[in-house]
Structure 1
């Protein structure tokens, strides 16, 4: 059976030819971001990875029940006529159905637009469009379930690459799992965050109290990080007094909440640290988020020293 990417591309090509639309898309919505995953475009100039405002879209109105799945003439639908995206690009006709996850929550949409209004007979394709959307949702759900199993297998294999002191993934394990999560982001456009944590005062602890005390500090930090993180997150000791966390399928808001839990958990263990956080988006990959988070952490550490 085709995977989600292949099935999406075939479905988009079929619908665009069948309906005569200029563009059909498969999208992902997360917060107020509406990202294009796949598209068959013959005129709008939209590319995979483009991100638009979900609240401005016809699809947001469709999902909310304010507009129909098929609008042969979008100007006749008040919610679509008033939509912000309709002021930015010409949309004479629209189709759209939600793509759902296994728990019934919204993943994104299958949709299509054309600059010219279409005959009212376009509405006769309702069952077909719903069927295609349902099939894509089913394939997506099956693929994501298989992906969860694959992620568990990856974590099991990476257990050989652990830090002897803390039991966390070491740098090699971190690098390997980061590559895997990067590939998932490219497939599904599900956001992730990277948090970098650097312990404050480890050198002083080693110098004044001995390396055994320093090791105990590192182990308390590792325990706190695991306690604050979710089962699906990647927690690693990157080296020395530096740790990294990949918040999987986590947007910026969720990342800030995760970072706050980490701070509280470390404080409860009597561990002081500096933090940096960055989230993936249209232009920032997970590897780039790591660099940004690392820079933010060092900036915070410099500010502490100069205060």
Structure 2
């Protein structure tokens, strides 16, 4: 499956730029991305990288090394303030592999019910992200991404 159209429609889009900045500013995290997630692939469509994580649009992570794979299956958001203090996550291989402590990922569900991917953020240091206000704000950011996806086709 070719995801170039997804990358092209999101990468460099000023609305998505603003959403990714808001995501980082809201959470205090240094990396945010819109990722295309399927059973087989995780592709960075657009991102903001203030922590030198090293990805660029079009780059791919092995799907089974991501929490986004679990989000694709469950369609449930994940908010982690501090991996080291979270019993369900402290031994999970993904934070260990990528070296993050804080994590947020919200599923992007299109108007037709199809799963596109995730709006996600990571940071190597802990941040308070699992609050009702932050969850609501990030849900609103994800809804804006979905509006862009549905408009772009």
Q: How many residues get paired?
A: 141
Matched residue SS, 1:132: helix
Equivalence map 1:98-117=2 (5 Å): 98-117=107-126
Q: With structure 1 as the length reference, what TM-score do the two structures score?
A: 0.42
Relative contact order, CA 8 A, sep 6+: which one is greater? Answer: 2
Q: With structure 2 as the length reference, what TM-score do the two structures score?
A: 0.79
The answer to whether 1:37 aligns with 2:38 is no
Relative to structure 1, the CA distance from residue 81 to residue 54 in structure 2 (aligned partners, 3 Å threshold; closer, same or farther) is farther
In the other structure, the counterpart of 2:21 is: 13
- What do you get for the CA RMSD once the two structures are aligned? 2.3
Task: Find runs of 4+ consecutive structure 1 residues off by over 4 angstroms.
Answer: 120-123
Q: Which of 50, 53, 63 lines up with 2:59 in the alignment? A: 50
Gaps of 5+ in 2: 1-8
Matched residue SS, 2:99: coil
Q: Deviations over 1:149-177 (max 9, x none)?
A: xxxxxxxxxxxxxxxxxxxxxxxxxxxxx
Structure number with higher helix proportion: 1
Structure number with higher strand proportion: 2
Counterpart-to-counterpart distance in 1, 2:91 and 2:105: 17
In the other structure, the counterpart of 2:147 is: 138
Is residue 101–residue 125 contact of structure 2 (8 Å, CA) maintained in 1? yes
Counterpart-to-counterpart distance in 2, 1:56 and 1:31: 12
Gaps of 5+ in 1: 145-307
